[in-house]
Amino acid sequence: MQTFSALDLQQRTGDIQRAAVLEPVLLTSHGKPRTIIMSTDEFRRLKAAAGEPVPTEAVEAVGKTLRGQKDPLGYDMSDYGAGVDKMISDVMSGRTKAAVEAELESVRRAFRGGVRR
């Protein structure tokens, strides 16, 4: 088990989250064990082994968009299959060409400038 301090948590959140996917991580405060961070898979496994219900927040969402932002092209992704079919149809017809080009240019600018969206 890897151990990180509370200061590490502030400065290296991404590293700690990546480590916690592989195995539980111990967080310390003033050198004392305080918290364990673990993957949702491990949390669900432990809940199931204990015969306890898994909180809905820890259950993987299905059929939702993967990003928190509104789709810039306006697709409703609540029904993923239908959304993808609509996207393919629009691309094949050329209907969304200008919008797709604008979105691609936005991404290119972000990468050239080193700015994250």
Domains of the chain: 2-58 (3.40.1620.10), 63-117 (no CATH)
How far apart are the C-alpha atoms of 87 and 61, rounded to whole Å? 22
Q: How far is CA 49 from CA 37, 44, 83, in A?
A: 18, 9, 37
Residue 85 pLDDT: 86
How far apart are the C-alpha atoms of 115 and 69, rounded to whole Å? 17
Could you read off the pLDDT tens digit of each residue along the chain, which spans 117 residues?
899 999 998 999 999 999 999 999 999 999 999 999 998 888 888 988 998 888 877 776 554 445 455 666 777 777 777 878 888 888 889 888 888 888 788 878 877 765 544
